Amino acid sequence: MREDYDFSNAKRGPVIASPPGKTRITIRIDDDILEWFKAQVHEAGGGSYQSEINAALRSHIESERESLESTLRRVIREELQDAS
C-alpha cells in the first residue's frame, strides 16, 4: 500500500449516479418484510428486491386511487369479456 494517494481530482458522492426519476433514501423495514421480498427475487431467479418493493408500493398507490365502484365495474367488465 502506498503512503500517499492523490485525491486532488476526487469527487464526493456516490460512485454511480442514480437514474433520473429515482431518489436514494434510507428506510427502515421490518426484517420479515425484507426477507419476503428477497425470497421472491431468489425464487424468480434473480432481480432486485428494491425494484419489487417499489412495484408493490406503486401497485398499492394505484389501487387506492380507484374507487370501489370503479373497481367493481372494471372487474365485472373483465369477467363478462372472459365469459363470452
pLDDT, tens digit (0-9, with 9 covering 90-100), for 13-49: 777 777 899 888 899 999 999 999 999 999 999 999 9
- Per-residue pLDDT averaged across 71-82, rounded? 90
Per-residue model confidence (pLDDT) at position 79: 93
Higher pLDDT, 66 or 36: 36
Say which amino acid occupies 45: G
Per-residue model confidence (pLDDT) at position 12: 81
Per-residue model confidence (pLDDT) at position 69: 85
Q: How far apart are CA 74 and CA 67, in angstroms?
A: 11
Higher pLDDT, 32 or 12: 32
Close Cβ partners of 52 (under 8 Å, ≥ 6 residues apart): 37, 40, 41
Say which amino acid occupies 62: E
Q: How far apart are CA 4 and CA 2, in angstroms?
A: 6
